[in-house]
């Protein structure tokens, strides 16, 4: 995956939108990336809005937005020594955002704004960007005061997880990246129901954990990253609750998860995890889409138990 060289942040000038601008500036300084501030003057009004609201002077609103973005840019230059380009567009916010982020390596959005960006799982603006299959989306939920210190990456040994690990290693210090895999407990439950001895259950669990740990490290090495500078953790149970528990335990301030670019039966579990984290995680969340035609074939369930001979 190419390094993040161009960051686009969209704001509607709400508190959450401008907080996303400050986070994007922190990242631009850390990554030495080009930063663009975007605002879209919304002309896609619904019929009831046309009746109840005053007529929109798009040119006047665009001029005001240009001035507001320029002021934000000056603040960023003073606080973070980051030079930001300004982009004001007129039209449908979703369509204009899709066009603009086609030239970006990372899109940064606020958690909420006057144009709701969440819940993304129900087809809002960022979900449409994710369906384009190209641009990682960072949804900023916490105040942007310091650089990221700890990133958590759920690992399922698919190309989607590989892409997420690479993005996480860019956004957070490599030593601050934790790779996490939730082990499916179905096989252990079967052994328990079959009245297997407790010693056998412990051995089976230890064997699975050792195998998954080794496989995570091999995956990181294959990506050209230094596994010695990362930490690794395991959970037990369903992917979403296990990952949320690990987020709390690790005190991560960023979670990065891969997402299939298109919905498919083979990627249902991973898509469900990314939507769930976006809605339930209380830290900043990055969703990294992966283009299907560039991905290797996936298992029927990405979070199924890992075969011991894999």
Average per-residue pLDDT in the chain? 80
Q: Cis peptide before 266, with omega less than 30 degrees from 0?
A: no
User: Exposure string (b/e) for 50-80, b if CB count within 10 Å is 16 or more?
Assistant: eeeeeeeeeeebbeebeebbeebbeebeeeb
Q: Which residues of the chain have pLDDT under 50?
A: 48, 114-123, 263-266, 292-310
Task: Outline which parts of the chain fall under CATH 3.40.50.620.
Answer: 6-140, 151-294
Q: Are strands 177-183 and 231-236 parallel, antiparallel or unpaired?
A: parallel
Structure confidence by residue, pLDDT tens digits, 171-186: 987 778 999 998 876 5
Which ranges constitute the DSSP H helices of the chain? 15-31, 47-52, 58-80, 93-101, 125-131, 159-171, 186-193, 198-222, 239-250, 268-280
CATH number of 151-294: 3.40.50.620
Structure confidence by residue, pLDDT tens digits, 39-91: 999 887 655 455 555 556 888 999 999 999 999 999 999 999 999 999 999 98
Q: Domain 6-140: which topology?
A: Rossmann fold (3.40.50)
Q: Contact, 138 vs 109, CB < 8 A?
A: yes
Place of tokens 């900023």: 140
pTM beyond cutoff 0.75: yes
């Amino acid at each position: 995956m190419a390094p993040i060289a161009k960051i686009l942040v969209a704001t509607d000038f709400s508190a959450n939108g401008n907080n996303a601008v400050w986070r994007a500036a922190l990242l631009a300084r850390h990554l030495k990336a080009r930063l663009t501030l975007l605002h879209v003057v919304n002309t896609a009004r619904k019929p009831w809005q046309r009746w109840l609201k005053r007529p929109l002077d798009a040119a006047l609103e665009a001029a005001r937005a240009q001035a507001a973005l320029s002021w934000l840019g000056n603040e960023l230059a003073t606080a973070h020594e980051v030079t930001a380009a300004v982009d004001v567009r007129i039209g449908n916010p979703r369509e204009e955002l899709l066009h603009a982020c086609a030239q970006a390596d990372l899109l940064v959005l606020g958690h909420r704004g006057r144009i709701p960006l969440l819940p993304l799982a129900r087809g809002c603006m960022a979900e449409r960007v994710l369906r384009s299959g190209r641009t990682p989306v960072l949804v900023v939920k916490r105040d942007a005061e310091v650089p990221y210190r700890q990133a958590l990456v759920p690992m399922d040994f698919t190309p989607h997880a590989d892409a997420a690990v690479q993005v996480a290693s860019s956004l957070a210090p490599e030593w601050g990246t934790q790779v996490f895999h939730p082990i499916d407990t179905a096989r252990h439950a079967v052994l328990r129901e079959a009245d297997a001895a407790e010693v056998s259950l412990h051995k089976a669990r230890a064997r699975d954990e050792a195998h998954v740990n080794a496989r995570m490290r091999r995956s990181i090495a294959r990506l050209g990253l230094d596994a010695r500078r990362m930490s690794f953790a395991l959970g037990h149970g369903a992917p979403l609750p296990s990952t949320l528990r690990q987020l709390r335990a690790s005190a991560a301030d960023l979670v990065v998860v891969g997402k299939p670019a298109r919905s498919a039966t083979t990627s249902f579990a991973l898509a469900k995890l990314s939507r769930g984290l976006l809605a339930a995680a209380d830290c900043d969340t990055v969703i990294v889409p992966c283009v299907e035609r560039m991905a290797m074939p996936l298992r029927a369930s990405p979070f199924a138990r890992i075969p011991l001979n894999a």
